[in-house]
Amino acid sequence: MPSDLSTWLIAVPQDGDSEGLYQEISGKLEQAKALSRSNVAELGIPTLKTGTLDLLISLSEELPKYDIFFTAAVAKIVDTLRNLLNNDPQKLAQHTLVEEKTCDEYLLSGWKWNASKYGTQRGLREVVDGLNKEMTSIDNVMKNKVNSYNLAKGTLVQMQRKKTGNLSVRSLVDVVPREVVVQDSEYLETLLVAVPNNLTKEWQAKYERLTSMVVPRSSIEVTSDSEFTLYSVVVFRKLHDEFVQKCREHKFIVRDFTFDEESIVKQRRELEDLSLAEKEMWADLLRLSRTNFSEAFQVLVHLKVVRLFVESVLRYGLPANYTGLVIEPDPKSSKRLMAVLTSHFAYLNKQAGKKGKKSSGTDEYTGEYQSLMEQEYYDFVLFEVPSVV
């Protein structure tokens, strides 16, 4: 049973029994309360150059691998869009359009083969290679753009992280004003000390006596957060190491900080530049992802139609004229839907020369073709287009 969350593409021989297929099937489905007419549409299956039987068998083995790759490539683009849009389902729906239509509308609005891009005069192998080349190009472009964006975003996040956290760990570049720092002194220096908020009274009482040569009443509260209060204190340079050690013993944290106005300006500029670059790359990647989703989804559907064609030729033989349906199942009535389809297309059982819904893979089918005979199939050819959003 195919998934009732995907869209079904169905192919049958174009003969007298299939005339008026859409009207007949949609009517039966409505009568059985299995599906609305709006969930069924005709599918134009092109008449492609069949080539040799060996080619068809070879493609039948290869196409599932391409299908997996194509489906994964589309899914990765959706994941990229989802990440860029913070997993907002409404915004995601606006950016996963195919020719400015939803995926369902694209498939259910009279889908036709893009003959101008994938000419039917070309051989099957050439068509498949062209589809694979196009999807590979899209996938490679997306990989490069995503990697570049992630690198820029990672660098920005790393710089922004320095501005977060409590005062014992965060960058002090934008915290410490120039006036609290003693500058250009041969003997004195200003130290910045992060003191736990429950120890501020102890700091005020003890800092002058932690070592000798601490300038009296030099401690100034610079700022505070929910965990620490940052103080500046002036000491003699030669007592630097001893003062740091005494602070450590009392759980006061001396921050490694040197006031450098040029460095501060440089860091601010770097952060602004990185932030601007990240926003521009985000916008570029969003536009590219939206465009490439549309292109990639179309390539995926064309590959599905090629699979329908190849399987139809192998199953029903020549002439290679087939008609198709696009069906968007309703999960609540998918069993009734399949029952109607199975009943309607039962006449194909004799044409295909098979009985039942699954081949058994018995000893009659051995060798290189056995894997083809072990696939689940119905009297009609069916492939699924998975829901991507």
What does R_g of the chain's alpha carbons equal in angstroms? 35
SS (H, E, C) 229-288: EEEEEEEEHHHHHHHHHHHHHCCCEEECCCCCHHHHHHHHHHHHHHHHHHHHHHHHHHHH
Instruction: Read off the pTM.
Output: 0.77
Residue 373 pLDDT: 46
At residue 310 the predicted structure's pLDDT band, cuts being 50, 70 and 90, is very high
Taking 70 as the threshold, does the pLDDT of residue 243 lie above it? yes
Closest C-alpha among 372, 346, 369, 371 to residue 12: 346
At residue 349 the predicted structure's pLDDT band, cuts being 50, 70 and 90, is confident
At residue 174 the predicted structure's pLDDT band, cuts being 50, 70 and 90, is confident
Which fold is adopted by the domain 178-258?
Alpha-Beta Plaits (3.30.70)
Residue 355 pLDDT: 38
Residue 350 pLDDT: 65
CB atoms within 10 A of CB 90: 7
Taking 60 as the threshold, does the pLDDT of residue 369 lie above it? no
Q: 74-117 pLDDT, tens per residue?
A: 999 999 999 999 999 999 999 999 999 999 999 999 899 999 99
User: What's the mean pLDDT when you consider all of the chain?
Assistant: 88
Which fold is adopted by the domain 6-153+278-349+374-386?
subunit c (vma5p) of the yeast v-atpase, domain 2 (1.20.1460)
Taking 80 as the threshold, does the pLDDT of residue 3 lie above it? yes
The full set of domain ranges for the chain reads 6-153+278-349+374-386, 178-258
Taking 90 as the threshold, does the pLDDT of residue 357 lie above it? no
Can you tell me the mean pLDDT for 199-210?
A: 95
Q: Does this chain's domain 6-153+278-349+374-386 share its CATH topology with 178-258?
A: no
User: What are the φ/ψ torsions at residue 244 (nearest 5 degrees)?
Assistant: -60, -45
Taking 70 as the threshold, does the pLDDT of residue 376 lie above it? no
